[in-house]
């Protein structure tokens, strides 16, 4: 069999063996899954038995045995769920009975009994939903219609009843919202209107009313930061900058309902009134002198030219190569002369062996012509010996000819090297003649000088008086000090020295507007941190009110507080 055919046969055998191993492995797994399912079925665990039969069916899709056992297990599963559904109906738990009957119908969709159980549970649930709707209990009815729609989202009757339920919920929530608003319970009104929108998005004008009520609430519970000027003339330009920065403050999402104002809001507003008293700017100036140094060119010096040393070395090296090449030429000429003599001598030897070969060949030819072969045998031997001698002489002559050519080549190479070395020598001599022995270099000197380092500081004191709106008297917070710092270096100009000091560096003290801006920024940060803490307490107060009212069972009061807590704090969720 050809080698290719042998390889193909081996591959086919390997593939068949692998396929048989895979098939054997699948068969073993199939058998184990089937046996495990049988054991679970005998134990009455039909859910686990069905899972094993389903695994066996996936391993061997064409085997009817696994499919038939899976079908039987599904029927047992469905029967159990039908029993569960009927028991839940007896207990009046229709919202739980419907999903159980729905799962039974999914497990055994061809059983009339199972489907009848589902329709029975569905019918009872929808009838109960109708009754609850009539009793004005739409929230309870929603659980029943939701159970039916979860099984069949397209159930027309369930959708129709649920639509009426949602309409009822939205209508009642809307009316409740209007009633709460009339009672000045805006938090409850907002929750009720949002409930109506949750049931029926776009219901009547609920969205517009909810938005208006939320804006009213936010206006009522807005936290005002009222900024008063301290009595007397401003101590510095920092005062005006602080006031301007605070009035332009845009609070972030954590402080979403803070409003900054220069005037006292309407009576009953929540917030804090602050009077920042900022002291005069206290300047500070310190100076220290530091020693610095720099380098500059202060003259020239003559030094040995390194290029001259390089040129001298190049000349010596080229001269040495030229001498070496001349020695190689002499040795090569002697080698050529010797090789030529040996070649000429071998030529004479070769010519002699060739003449001897011709002479013996002629005698052998005459002998053969006049005598018998036997008589000419000595001449034949002499002819063979002469031929060997001639061949040896020819071989030796070829060797000597090759040796002569090699010697002549080495002579040419040595002459080429000599020519190159002489040219390099001449070039090096020319470079050496034009290269000066010394050159002028810059003399570098060190210049020492002093630098004045000026440290400018400025500070102001902040005395903050805070009056929580509605409280009888203000509170004076402990005074704080806020400062800024800048550094500048200076030194006089010095000509004829380093470029770095030629122009000097004049002292540039910080400008007053820059100092005032830096100080006001620090003061504003301090005030904003206090405001954030006050606002956090304001948010927590609504949370506390909510928890207190909830614990006392005052639901509407708890809702009012909770809505306000959400509006001033984390915000209303969608």
Instruction: Dump the DSSP string for 433-481.
Output: HHS-SEEEEEEEEEEEEEEEEEEEEEEEEEEEEEEETTSSS-EEPPPEE
Residue 240's closest CA among 183, 278, 292? 278
**What pLDDT does residue 3 have?**
41
**What pLDDT does residue 13 have?**
38
Helix, strand, coil fractions of the chain, as percent rounded to 5: 65, 15, 20
- Residue 554: pLDDT above 90? yes
Per DSSP, 249 falls in state -
- Residue 340: pLDDT above 50? yes
User: For a pLDDT cut of 90, what percent of the chain falls above it?
Assistant: 34
Average pLDDT on 121-137 reads 87
The more confidently predicted of residues 512 and 9 is 512
Residue in this structure with the two tokens 């070496």, named with its chain if needed: 324
Separation of alpha carbons 429 and 161, rounded Å: 117
Average pLDDT on 29-58 reads 82
**What pLDDT does residue 107 have?**
86
Interval 208-254: pLDDT, tens: 999 999 999 999 999 999 988 877 676 678 888 888 888 888 888 78
Q: Hey, is 128 helix, strand or coil?
A: helix
**What pLDDT does residue 20 have?**
45
**What pLDDT does residue 572 have?**
80
Two tokens, residue 373: 């072969």
**What pLDDT does residue 22 have?**
42
**What pLDDT does residue 9 have?**
40
Largest CA-CA distance found in the chain, in angstroms, rounded:
168
**What pLDDT does residue 452 have?**
94
Q: Hey, is 463 helix, strand or coil?
A: strand
Separation of alpha carbons 126 and 148, rounded Å: 8
Do the Cβ atoms of 89 and 118 come closer than 8 Å?
no
What is the sign of the dihedral through the CA atoms of 8, 10, 11 and 15? Answer: positive
Between helices 3-42 and 46-59, what is the axis angle to 10°? 170
pLDDT-based confidence at residue 261 (cuts at 50, 70, 90): confident
In this structure, the number of other CB atoms found within 10 A of the CB of residue 141 comes to 26
Separation of alpha carbons 19 and 25, rounded Å: 10
**What pLDDT does residue 24 have?**
55
Per DSSP, 510 falls in state P
**Sequence-ordered list of residues with C-beta below 8 angstroms from that of 275, at least 6 positions apart, any chain:** 228, 229, 230, 464, 465, 467, 474
**What pLDDT does residue 448 have?**
92
**What pLDDT does residue 2 have?**
42
Two tokens, residue 13: 């055998």
Two tokens, residue 477: 């917070």
pLDDT-based confidence at residue 341 (cuts at 50, 70, 90): very high
CA distances from 257 to 14, 135, 194 (A): 79, 43, 21
258-261/270-278 β-pairing: unpaired
Average pLDDT on 294-316 reads 88
Q: Which residues of 68-104 are buried (b: 16+ CB within 10 A; e: fewer)?
A: ebbeebbbbbbbbbbebbbebbeeeebbbbbbbbbbb
Interval 498-550: pLDDT, tens: 888 888 999 999 999 999 999 999 999 999 999 999 999 999 999 999 999 99
- Residue 561: pLDDT above 50? yes
Average model confidence (pLDDT) for the chain?
86
List the single range of 66-70, 83-87, 281-285 with lowest mean pLDDT.
Answer: 66-70
- Residue 7: pLDDT above 80? no
**What pLDDT does residue 62 have?**
76
Average pLDDT on 7-15 reads 40
| pTM of the shown model | 0.59
Q: Hey, is 89 helix, strand or coil?
A: helix
């Amino acid at each position: 069999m050809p080698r290719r055919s042998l390889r193909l046969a081996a591959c086919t055998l390997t593939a068949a063996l692998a396929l048989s191993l895979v098939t054997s492995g699948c068969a073993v797994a199939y058998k184990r899954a089937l046996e495990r399912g049988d054991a679970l079925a005998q134990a009455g665990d039909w859910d686990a038995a069905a899972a094993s039969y389903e695994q066996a069916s996936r391993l061997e899709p064409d085997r009817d045995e696994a499919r038939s056992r899976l079908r039987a297990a599904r029927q047992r599963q469905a029967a159990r769920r039908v029993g569960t559904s009927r028991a839940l109906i007896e207990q009046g738990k229709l919202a739980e009975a419907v999903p159980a009957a729905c799962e039974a119908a999914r497990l055994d969709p061809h059983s009339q009994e199972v489907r009848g159980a589902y329709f029975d549970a569905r019918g009872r649930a929808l009838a109960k939903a109708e009754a609850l709707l009539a009793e004005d209990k739409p929230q309870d009815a929603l659980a029943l219609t939701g159970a039916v729609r979860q099984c069949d989202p397209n159930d027309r009757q369930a959708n129709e009843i649920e639509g009426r339920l949602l309409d009822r919920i939205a209508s009642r929530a809307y009316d409740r919202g209007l009633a709460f608003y009339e009672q000045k319970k805006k938090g409850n009104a907002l929750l009720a209107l949002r409930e109506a929108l949750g049931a029926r998005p776009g219901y009547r004008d609920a969205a517009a009313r909810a938005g208006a009520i939320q804006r009213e609430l936010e206006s009522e519970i807005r936290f005002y930061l009222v900024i008063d000027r301290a009595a007397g003339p401003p101590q510095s330009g920092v005062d005006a900058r602080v006031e301007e920065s605070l009035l332009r403050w845009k609070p972030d999402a954590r402080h979403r309902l803070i409003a900054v104002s220069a005037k006292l809001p309407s009576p009953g507003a929540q917030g804090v009134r602050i009077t920042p008293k900022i002291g005069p700017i206290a300047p500070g100036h310190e100076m220290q002198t530091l020693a610095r140094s720099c380098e500059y060119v202060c003259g020239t010096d003559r030094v040995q030219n390194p290029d001259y040393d390089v040129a001298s070395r190049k000349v010596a090296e080229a001269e040495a190569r030229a001498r070496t090449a001349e020695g190689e030429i002499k040795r090569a000429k002697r080698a050529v002369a010797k090789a030529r003599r040996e070649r000429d001598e071998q030529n004479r030897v070769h010519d002699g062996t060739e003449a001897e070969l011709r002479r013996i060949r002629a005698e052998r030819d005459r002998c053969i012509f006049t005598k018998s072969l036997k008589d000419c045998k000595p001449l034949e031997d002499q002819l063979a010996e002469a031929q060997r001698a001639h061949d040896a002489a020819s071989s030796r002559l070829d060797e000597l000819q090759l040796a002569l050519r090699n010697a002549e080549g080495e002579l040419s190479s040595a002459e080429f090297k000599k020519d190159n070395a002489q040219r390099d020598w001449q070039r090096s001599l020319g470079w050496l003649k034009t290269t000066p022995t010394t050159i002028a270099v810059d003399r570098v000197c060190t210049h020492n000088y002093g630098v004045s380092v000026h440290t400018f500081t400025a500070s102001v004191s902040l005395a903050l008086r805070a009056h929580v709106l509605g409280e009888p008297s203000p509170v004076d917070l402990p005074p704080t000090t806020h400062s800024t710092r800048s550094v500048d270096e200076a030194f006089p100009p010095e000509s004829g020295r380093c470029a770095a000091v030629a122009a000097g560096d004049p002292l540039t003290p910080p400008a007053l507007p820059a100092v005032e801006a830096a100080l006001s920024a620090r003061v504003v940060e301090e005030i904003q941190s206090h405001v954030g803490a006050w606002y956090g307490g304001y948010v927590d107060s609504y949370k506390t009110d909510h928890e207190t009212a909830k614990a006392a069972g005052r639901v509407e009061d708890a809702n009012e507080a909770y809505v306000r807590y959400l509006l001033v704090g984390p915000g209303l969720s969608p």
